Copies of this chain bind each other. A is one copy, B any other.
Amino acid sequence: MMRDLSWSPAEKKAARAAFERARAREAAALVELVRAKARAVAGLDDVWALAELIEERRSEMQEHYDYRYSVLPIVFANLIRDGWLSLDELAGLGDDKREFIERIIAFAGERP
């Protein structure tokens, strides 16, 4: 099972790099989104809505970017599903991990 996967030093390095790459992409996208939203701010309601959007994204990111090896396959599956990472970028991980991640993605895709 997931918790029993063993991560070699090379895999840990590859995982960390992919994790940080995804985080940097999501951060850059959020920065762009905030700039675009802010340009369109016309009144106080838009200002409050902007703050709420940011707080929502902050909680989501805090929740998503959880670098514990025990949950990392789920984290990567979510990042791939959300478009922040591709499976190809996890080429540095062993087949056991990549197949596991693919199974999670396939399983999640079946949900209604």
Contact = CB atoms under 8 A, between A and B. Distances in A.
B50 A54 contact: yes
A34 B58 contact: no
Contacts of A51: 50-51, 54-55, 58
| Number of copies of this chain that the complex holds | 2
Interface string A68-87: 00000000000000000000
A35 B51 CA distance: 13
| Residue of A41, A47, A55 with most partner-chain B CB within 10 A | A47
A35 B47 CA distance: 9
Interface residues of A, number: 20
A43 interface: yes
Contacts of A54: 47-48, 50-51
A35 B39 contact: yes
Contacts of A41: 31, 34-35, 38
A38 B44 contact: no
